[in-house]
Structure 1
């Protein structure tokens, strides 16, 4: 391989990595409502607002659907601080 071929291959690989990361960030979140159909094959991550007291917090789940597409779901839930309260 010549130097030009190696440089072109490295540039092509770098552009592909940048394109993939840009596509992963471009997923628009869906807001959960009662009756929303969820097609969850694998959960990638779950995040929620931190709260030491009992109450409702915002949460976000990132997952793969059965087609392998990345999806983001925003929803509300009771804070983890509610676990010890009745």
Structure 2
């Protein structure tokens, strides 16, 4: 019984990992309509660069997972 539960849990995790790998990265451009219901994660910008890309992973109102990449302006200073 424990093997069956463990196998089921690992199968679900494997499916989730596979889904994450197949989510295409969408590039944001000004004026694009974005339907964000829940933010899952966001990468941190490089504050020492003038402009650096950031990725936002989110679910839309239908529960579909998206990865959107957009540029963020940093300080461009090292301290």
If the length of structure 1 is used for normalisation, what is the TM-score?
0.70
Q: Which blocks of at least 5 consecutive residues in structure 1 are unaligned?
A: none
- Please tell me whether the aligned partners of residues 45 and 72 of structure 2 are also in contact (alpha carbons under 8 angstroms): no
1:16 Cα offset (Å): 2.5
**CA displacement, residues 12-71 of structure 1 (integer Å, 9 cap, x when unaligned):** 332222112211232111001122110001111121441325x22111111110011111
Shift in CA distance, 8/47, structure 1 to aligned 2, threshold 3 Å: closer
Structure 2 residue runs of 5 or longer lacking an equivalent are none
Native 8 Å contact 2:45 2:53 kept in 1: yes
2 CA distance for matches of 1:30 and 1:40? Answer: 13
TM-score (norm 2): 0.75
Are the equivalent residues in 2 in contact too, given 1:47–1:61 (CA < 8 A)? yes
For residue 67 of structure 1, what is the aligned residue in structure 2? Answer: 62
